[in-house]
């Protein structure tokens, strides 16, 4: 089970529990004059970290040409794997490692 909580300065998408293999998607309009930024907190409760689970907190969308290229200028795809968080590089059809899990769970 994976817990995901994503938000921006203006929008809190709330927390969700996801089973293995399920997706969580949303859409939004970018601000023309303000920088759009979304970030997520993700945690997993498993035995890989002495039974204490693990977490990651990271940006999932920011206005950047390199990010737009990886997302094919459309949809950014983030993937949680056993060793950490990956972004799908759509043009290369490759998952690129971005963040490692940190031991323990944050209080939120």
pLDDT in tens, the chain (108 residues): 899 999 998 889 899 999 888 888 887 767 666 688 899 999 998 655 555 789 999 999 888 888 889 988 888 999 999 999 999 999 999 999 999 999 987 665
Q: Are 68 and 30 in contact (CB under 8 A)?
A: no
E-only strand ranges, the chain: 2-8, 12-18, 37-44, 54-62, 78-81, 84-89, 94-100, 102-103
Residue 55: per-residue pLDDT: 94
Structural domain boundaries in the chain: 2-103
Spell out a b/e string for 46-71, using b for 16 or more CB atoms within 10 Å of the CB, else e.
eeebeeebbbbeeebbeeeeeeeebb
Residue 9: per-residue pLDDT: 87
Residue 37: per-residue pLDDT: 86
pTM beyond 0.95, yes or no: no
């Amino acid at each position: 089970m994976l817990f995901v909580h994503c938000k921006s300065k203006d929008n809190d998408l709330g927390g969700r529990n996801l089973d293995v293999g399920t997706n969580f998607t949303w859409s939004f309009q970018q601000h023309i004059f303000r920088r759009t930024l979304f970030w997520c907190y993700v945690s997993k409760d498993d035995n890989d970290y002495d039974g204490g689970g693990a977490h990651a907190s990271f940006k999932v969308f920011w206005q950047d040409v390199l990010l737009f290229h990886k997302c094919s200028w459309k949809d950014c795809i983030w993937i949680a794997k056993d060793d950490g968080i990956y972004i799908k590089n759509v043009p290369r059809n490759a998952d690129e490692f971005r963040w490692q899990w940190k031991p323990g769970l944050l209080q939120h």
